[in-house]
Amino acid sequence: MNQRQLGNSGLRVGPLALGGNVFGWTADEAHSFEVLDAFVDAGLNLIDTADVYSRWIPGHRGGESEAMIGKWLKSRGNRSRVVIATKVGIEMGPGEQGLSRPYIMRAVERSLERLGTDYIDLYQSHRDDPGTPMEETLGAYGDLIRQGKVRAIGASNFSAERLMTALALARSAQLPRYECLQPCYNLYDRAGFEGELAELCRREGVAVISYFSLASGFLTGKYRSEKDLVNRARAYRVKDMMNERGFRILHALDEIARELGATPAQVSLAWLIARGVTAPIASATSAEQLREIVGATRLELGAEAVRKLDQASS
C-alpha cells in the first residue's frame, strides 16, 4: 500500500491512521487485538492514541488506550512494523497537564512504560499551551529526540497563528519542528481547518492527520433519526449534526456510495484523502468495521464526486 512521508521526519505512513481512543473503552482486549491485527494485516501502520484516553470514563484514570496497545505490541512482537503516535498536554490529574519541560519529561516516561516500548515514533502536543514558552516545549522535545525516546513531533488543535510561530521558532532557534498537524476535519466540520491553516500546512510541508474524520460516526450514515442515538456513546456529539445540512451531506454520500459500490464511511474518508489529508484517523471496534474503513484506501473519487461532496457540505 502506498505510503506517505510525514512532513520532513523520515517516517512513512499508510494513507489511513487507526484511532486508538476506543481501546480499553468501547473495545475490550479481545476486540482491540482483533482490530489491531486486522489493521496491520491490511498493510497499514500508523496507530494514533493519547495519554488521556480514556480518562473521561468514570473509573478510568487515563492511559487505558496506551496500555492496551502496549499489551498488543508485547504479545505480537511487531514493534518495528508500526508507527506509534501518542499525545501529551491534556490534564491527567492535579498539576499534571500542559507543555512545560518538567511535565513533558514526566509524561513521556509514563507513556513509554504503558506502551512497553523505549521510543515513540510521533509525540504530539495534544493542544496548545499559551502559558509555556514555545522554546521550552520544543527544547524538551529536542532533548527527547536526542535521547532516542522520540523520533518526531506533531501538534494537535493549534491555530494557524500559533503553528506558524512554532515553525518559525524551530527554524530560527534550530529546534525540532512540528512535522504534522492533527485538526478536527471532516465533511461536516470544514471551517476550522480549510483556509489559512490548510494553506500553512501545504506551504510548509506539514503533514495532516485529521481526527473525527467520520464526525463521531455521523458520516457512516448509521444515525438518521433520534432512535438511532439511543444508548450510543457519541450521541451527544452526533445530535447537533442531525439538521438540514447534515442530511444533505448524507444524501450526497449515499448517492456516490451507490455509484461506486462503496459505503458512506469509505466515501467520507476517500474525500479527505482526495482533499490532501495525509492520513485520516478512523476508529473501529471490530474487524468487520476495520475492513470497511480500510476499503477507503482503495477508493478513488473522481473530480465530479469531490465537487458534489464539496457542494453538499459547503
Beta bridge pairs of residue 181? 155, 208
User: DSSP 3-state helix, strand, coil percentages of the chain (rounded to 5)?
Assistant: 45, 15, 40
- Could you tell me the sign of the dihedral formed by the alpha carbons of 134, 139, 140, 142, in that order? positive
**Global pTM value:** 0.95
Spell out the domains of the chain, with CATH numbers in brackets: 4-220+266-301 (3.20.20.100)
Alpha helices in the chain (DSSP H): 29-41, 64-76, 101-115, 134-146, 160-173, 196-204, 235-238, 244-260, 264-274, 287-294, 303-312
Cα gap 20→86, rounded to integer Å: 9
Q: What is the pLDDT of residues 124-172, one digit of tens each?
A: 999 999 999 999 999 999 999 999 999 999 999 999 999 999 999 999 9
Would you tell me the crossing angle of helices 264-274 and 287-294 to the nearest 10 degrees? 40
Q: Which three cell numbers, joined as nine digits, stand for 41?
A: 494485516
Per-residue pLDDT reduced to its tens digit, 185-234: 999 999 999 999 999 999 999 999 999 999 999 999 988 877 767 766 66
- Do 257 and 267 contact (CB within 8 A), yes or no? yes
Look at the chain and count its residues. 314
Give me the catalytic one of 53, 141, 178, 211: 53
The CA-atom distances, in angstroms, between 134 and each of 53, 137, 164, 259 are 25, 5, 12, 48
- Interatomic CA distance for residues 266 and 268, integer angstroms: 5
Q: Does the annotation count 119 as an active-site position?
A: no
Q: What is the mean pLDDT of residues 229-253?
A: 85
Measure the CA–CA gap between 278 and 17, rounded to whole angstroms: 9
pLDDT of amino acid 50: 98
* Average per-residue pLDDT for the chain: 96
